[in-house]
Chain A
Amino acid sequence: MPLKNYSNKDEYFLIEQIVAGDSEALAVLYDRYKSLVFSLAIIITDSYEAAEDITLDVFTQIWLKAGTYRAERAPVRQWLTGIARHRSIDVLRRQKNRPNFHSPIWAELSPDSFPADDNGPTEAFAQAQIRHKIREALDTLPEEQRDALALAYFKGYTHRQIAEILNEPLGTIKTRIRLALQKLHQIFIENKILEK
C-alpha cells in the first residue's frame, strides 16, 4: 500500500482523516505540532518525563476526540495547544510538591533557526518567522507585564495568586495583564500575524 502524502494538506483535512481513522494523518499532525506541545508541557511542568506523558496524552486525545473538533470555534493549532496547556496545568496542580515559585522564562530572541522539520524547509522557515515576530513582540513588554503574563499563561495561577506571589495589589496585576495582551494584539495585527 503506497504511503499517503499529507505534507501539503491543511489541518482541517488532517482532522477529517483522523476522524475517519487514518493514523497517518495523526502522524503528520504530530510532526507539525510535536515541539509546540512538548515545549509548552515542559515549561509548565518543569519535567521532561511529565512532558512526554502529556504529549502522548494530547495526541491520543486528538485521535479519540477529533470528531468533537469545531472549526468555527478555533483553528486546529489553538484547539490543540489549548488541550496541551490545560492538561499540563492540571498535572502541575496535582503535583504534591509544586515547584518553588520562579517566573517562567520566555524564549530569548535568537537568530532564526530551522530545526529538523518533517514538514520541509519552507514550512519550517515560515514557522520560525512567526515565532521570531511573536518573541520580538513579547520583548517589547515591560518586565513586570511579562512576568505576570508568564505566571498566568505558563503556570495557571489565578490573578489573586499572582498578586500574592508578586506582592502587588490585585488591580495592578489585572492592569498589567490587560495592557500586555492589548499591546501584543496591536503588534500582532501590525505584523500581520493576526488579521484585523
Chain B
Amino acid sequence: MIDHDHINDLLPIYALGCLDNDEAALVSQHLAVCDTCQNRLTEYRQSVDLLVHGAPEVFPPNTLKTQLLRRIAATSDTHGRLQRTPPKRRMGSRFFPAWAIVGLIIIVGLAGINLMQWQNHLRKIQAEVAGELLIVRMKGTSRAPEGDGTFVIGQDCKQAVLVASDLPVLDEGHQYQLWMVRDEQRISGGIFSVGSNGYATVKIYSKELLTNFRTFEVTVEPTGGSLKPGDYLVMVSLN
C-alpha cells in the first residue's frame, strides 16, 4: 500500500518535474486515485508556474520575431499538408513527400534535439540529390491518446528519423520500441525513451528499403527491448 506521507513528501518535487522516473510513476499512480493529493499538487504547480518571473529579465533580439514569422510562413503549407490533407498515394504506398526541408527542420527541432547536429545530419541525407523526403505520420492509440509521431525517411530510403512527442514517461524498467511491419512480420527499428516533456528522436538505419514496410508501430517493452513486440501498442502509422 502506498504511504500517503511518502507521496506528500514527493509532491513538491513532482510539481517541479524533478523526480526520478520510478518515483514519478509512483506519484502518478497515486494521483489517479487521490483527490486530496491532486489538489495539493495543483497548489504546488501554481507556485512553480510563477517561478519563471524570478528569472532575470532578458529580451531577445528584434530580429527573432522576423525569423519566427518567416519560419511559420514557410511551414504553413507543409503544416496544412501534415495536419489536414490525407496522404497522397504514391508508388501505391502510404507515403507522401515533404514539401520543404524547413518543415523537416521544424519538426525535428520540436523534438528537442540539438538543432545544429540535426541540420548537419539532414545535409548529409540530402547531399546526393535535391531531395524529397518521405513522411509518415503516426498517432497514439487509446493507451497514449496524445502521442504523436513523425517518421521521416531520407532520400536513400534506408535512413530515417522518428520524432515522437507527448508520449508518457516510462519507469526505468520499460522503454519504447519501434517496429517496422511487413507481411505480418515485425522487425525492430530501435528502442528509445522520452524526455520529461514526452519527446524523443530515434535515428534508424535499415539494411533494406524502409519503403518495403507497410506500417510502423511503437510498443512498450522491457528495458533493452524485445525480440518480438508485446501487446502494449501505443502508436501506429496512419494509412
Query: Shortest Cβ distance from A140 into chain B, in angstroms?
Result: 12
Query: Shortest Cβ distance from A16 into chain B, in angstroms?
Result: 16
Contact residue among A34, A60, A90, A138 (Cβ-Cβ distance under 8 Å from B59): A34
Decide yes or no whether A166 CB sits under 8 A from chain B.
no
Closest to A106 in B: B54
Query: Shortest Cβ distance from A3 into chain B, in angstroms?
Result: 14
Most chain B CB inside 10 Å of its own CB: which residue of A26, A53, A152, A182: A152
Query: Shortest Cβ distance from B217 into chain A, in angstroms?
Result: 22
Contact residue among B18, B53, B68 (Cβ-Cβ distance under 8 Å from A130): B53
| A159 and B52 form a contact (CB under 8 A) | no
Question: For residue A125, which residues in chain B have a CB less than 8 angstroms away from its CB?
Answer: none
Within 8 A of B (CB), among A22-52: 23, 26-27, 30-31, 34-36, 38-40, 42-43, 51-52
Q: How far is the CA of A118 from the CA of B102 in the complex (A)?
A: 29
Question: For residue A21, which residues in chain B have a CB less than 8 angstroms away from its CB?
Answer: 76
Q: When A26-B72, A91-B114, A152-B18 are in contact, do A107 and B56 touch as well, CB less than 8 Å?
A: yes
Interface size on A, residues (CB 8 A): 71
Q: How far is the CA of A130 from the CA of B57 in the complex (A)?
A: 13
Decide yes or no whether B79 CB sits under 8 A from chain A.
yes
Q: When A81-B49, A159-B13 are in contact, do A134 and B18 touch as well, CB less than 8 Å?
A: no
Decide yes or no whether B161 CB sits under 8 A from chain A.
no
Query: Shortest Cβ distance from A142 into chain B, in angstroms?
Result: 15
Question: For residue A135, which residues in chain B have a CB less than 8 angstroms away from its CB?
Answer: 53-54
Closest to A133 in B: B53
Q: How far is the CA of A153 from the CA of B15 in the complex (A)?
A: 10
Q: How many A-B residue pairs have CB under 8 A?
A: 176
Decide yes or no whether B144 CB sits under 8 A from chain A.
no
Q: How would you classify the secondary structure of chain A's contact residues: helix, strand, loop or mixed?
A: helix
Decide yes or no whether A6 CB sits under 8 A from chain B.
no
Interface size on B, residues (CB 8 A): 55
Q: When A51-B60, A60-B75 are in contact, do A90 and B112 touch as well, CB less than 8 Å?
A: yes
| A57 and B109 form a contact (CB under 8 A) | yes
Question: For residue B115, which residues in chain A have a CB less than 8 angstroms away from its CB?
Answer: 53, 57
| B52 and A81 form a contact (CB under 8 A) | yes
Question: For residue B44, which residues in chain A have a CB less than 8 angstroms away from its CB?
Answer: 181, 185
Q: When A60-B109, A156-B196 are in contact, do A36 and B52 touch as well, CB less than 8 Å?
A: yes
Q: How far is the CA of A110 from the CA of B69 in the complex (A)?
A: 33
Q: How far is the CA of A85 from the CA of B17 in the complex (A)?
A: 10
Decide yes or no whether B101 CB sits under 8 A from chain A.
no
Within 8 A of A (CB), among B51-71: 51-61, 64-65, 67-69, 71
Q: How far is the CA of A164 from the CA of B211 in the complex (A)?
A: 49
A-B contact pairs, 26 of them (CB 8 A): A21-B76, A23-B72, A30-B68, A35-B60, A39-B57, A43-B56, A55-B60, A56-B71, A60-B71, A60-B106, A61-B110, A63-B79, A64-B75, A68-B146, A77-B49, A83-B197, A91-B112, A130-B53, A134-B53, A138-B54, A159-B13, A159-B18, A159-B19, A162-B18, A177-B16, A185-B44
